[in-house]
Amino acid sequence: MAISFYNTLTRRKEPFVPRVAGKAGIYVCGMTVYDHCHIGHARVMVSFDVIVRHLRASGLDVTFVRNFTDIDDKILRRAQELDISWQTLAQLHIDGFHEDMAALGVARADVEPKATEHIAEMHVIIQRLEARGLAYAAGGDVYFAVDRFPDYGKLSGKPLDELQSGARVEVDERKRNPLDFVLWKGAKPGEPQWESPWGPGRPGWHIECSAMSGRYLGESFDLHGGGMDLIFPHHENEIAQSEGACGHGWVNGWLHNGFVNVVAESGERVKMSKSLGNFRTIRDLLAVFPGEALRMFILNSHYRSPLDFSGELLETARAGMDRIYGALRAAQERLGALPGAVPLTAAEGVDQPEFARRFFEAMDDDFNTPQALAVVFELAREVNRGAAQPSEAADARALLEKLTVLLRRLGANLGLGGGDPVAWFQAGASDNESEEIASWIARRNAARKAREFAEADRIRRLLAEKGILLEDGKDGTTWRRG
RNA sequence: GGCCGGGUGGCGAAGUGGCUAACGCAGAGGUCUGCAAAACCUCCACUCGUGGGUUCAAAUCCCACCCCGGCCUCCA
């Protein structure tokens, strides 16, 4: 195993060396649950889902933690607007998140902690910071003193003085330095509050991640990830808190995925964000595109590159999935059944080692999914060739079997192509509809047999108008949605 | 202003010193088919933002310039 990845902290690609041989702990900043997930969220979740899959396929025993931020200003405001409790709002969007992720093929994390369930852990960190002179209480709030943490700015590459000169933050009387950030917010009337050594209040934004990662991964761990926009200030502040409290190094590797941009009518590319109001929710998209097409769209570019979103691009991704499922369907018809979509591990020996080798080489190199996908597509072609062979010879069938196993399994490493191919092409058809189509197909084939091609073509056109495309194969006629 | 990242065919997107610049989509021709569709085969960037330079050799390294995006404030 020789995984290397681009570490935001060192700004280089470097080998991944687990702190404990054979194990890996990874924490990814999840959602603030006050609204539906949009494509930007989908990108983080899919990217890290694949990263975790690859770490596991490489033989590592991975502990994956992805949190929910279930208390924050936006949640409180939105709950008030909707006239529901903030707990109800949060739970609503946690459930929505899980539904969306299931559609995208994103697996659950090993631990999905909520901020509000780790208040005690936060208090411990803040107390330690206070004891070490890195935090101070002021007017019911508790702040982190950035001046007292010499490494402040090391992740974002911004020296403290530069940050100060460019600071656009509001001057707050209670802060000693404008860049100081709040660890604990004193209670305001009407807001939820928890008891604390500094009086009632609620947590600041950054402290929760230090608390939850420490609880489940230990005082130091291997990898921490999230969207690029979290580098500053969120992750910078997490480092300050965590290292400040424990007095030693915290996270070895930092991974950040690139943004999703929206191409405006003017041709301008703008980042998709809630504050710009130009986001598309996963939910809306799923009404029009299969989740797997969205997943393909995301994995077709490298996780660190910017990604432009548009409907046409999603259509292209869907066509790519058609190709993979088309090959699987051909194999299924030929072999009678498909092998299970079980991820391939690096240690396993396989019959067509070149494909597997190239796949793992691509993924080992900073999780290069576009290159890994290229291998999957080449396999799809080989499977199609094998399935089209007229020969019934045993060795031809054996080769097709081996190629199909690899296609399915390597697909599973990316979380693609694990479904039933017929279901992919005939998505959403009711039993009634399927029967009706089958009867039309029977009528058409009767006409074809009688060489009444005008009638056969009429039926085909009739179905085509309903978006049903017919495909005449050696073993009969199948249909798909067009 | 500071700091990151990027400009590769019609589109998306890999490749970061040396085989014919992957792969997908779209397109063209062919095979198959009653005709299609799907599949397969062939073709589709003498060239990698622009201009210099280093080198036997550069899309890949260096310098300059042009353009685009992001972060520096809540954001994935």
Per-residue CB contacts under 7 A with strand B, chain A residues 308-347: 308, 312-313, 316, 319-320, 322-323, 326-327, 330
Tell me, which fold does domain A262-423 have in CATH? Answer: Four Helix Bundle (Hemerythrin (Met), subunit A) (1.20.120)
Residues A287-308: b if buried by 16+ CB within 10 A, e if exposed: eebbbbbbbbbbbbbbbbeebe
- Would you say the C-beta of A378 is within 7 Å of strand B? yes
Express each pLDDT in A333-373 by its tens digit. 999 999 999 999 999 988 888 999 999 999 999 999 999 99
Express each pLDDT in A236-253 by its tens digit. 999 999 999 999 999 999
CA distances from A257 to A59, A181, A264, A363 (A): 24, 25, 22, 15
Higher pLDDT, A268 or A378: A378
Q: CATH number of A4-257: 3.40.50.620, 3.40.50.1970, 3.40.50.20, 3.65.10.10?
A: 3.40.50.620
The pLDDT-based confidence of A159 (bands split at 50, 70, 90) is confident
Give the nucleotide with minimal C1' distance to the Cα of A169.
Answer: B73
Q: Give φ, ψ of A240 to 5 degrees.
A: -60, -45
DSSP one-letter code for A235: I
Question: How confident is the prediction for chain A on average, in pLDDT?
Answer: 92
Mean pLDDT, rounded, for A227-243: 94
Express each pLDDT in A57-108 by its tens digit. 999 999 999 999 999 999 999 999 999 999 999 999 999 999 999 999 999 9
Of A29, A108, A66, A43, the residue nearest A294 (C-alpha) = A43
pLDDT for A265 equals 58
pLDDT for A26 equals 97
As a whole number of angstroms, the distance between CA A125 and CA A207 comes to 8
Mean pLDDT, rounded, for A430-439: 94
pLDDT for A325 equals 98
Residue A171 pLDDT exceeds 70 = no
Contact A58, A1 (CB under 8 A): yes
Contact A45, A104 (CB under 8 A): yes
In angstroms, the CA of A459 and the C1' of B3 are apart by 64
Helix ranges (DSSP H) in A300-430? 311-335, 353-364, 369-388, 394-414, 421-425
Give the nucleotide with minimal C1' distance to the Cα of A273.
Answer: B75
In angstroms, the CA of A388 and the C1' of B30 are apart by 17
- Would you say the C-beta of A384 is within 7 Å of strand B? yes
In angstroms, the CA of A373 and the C1' of B23 are apart by 7
Give the nucleotide with minimal C1' distance to the Cα of A263.
Answer: B69
The domain segmentation of chain A, as residue ranges, is 4-257, 262-423, 429-481
Which protein residue has its CA closest to C1' of B15? A371
Q: How many CA atoms lie within 13 A of A177 on its CB side?
A: 20
Percent share of chain A, pLDDT over 70: 96
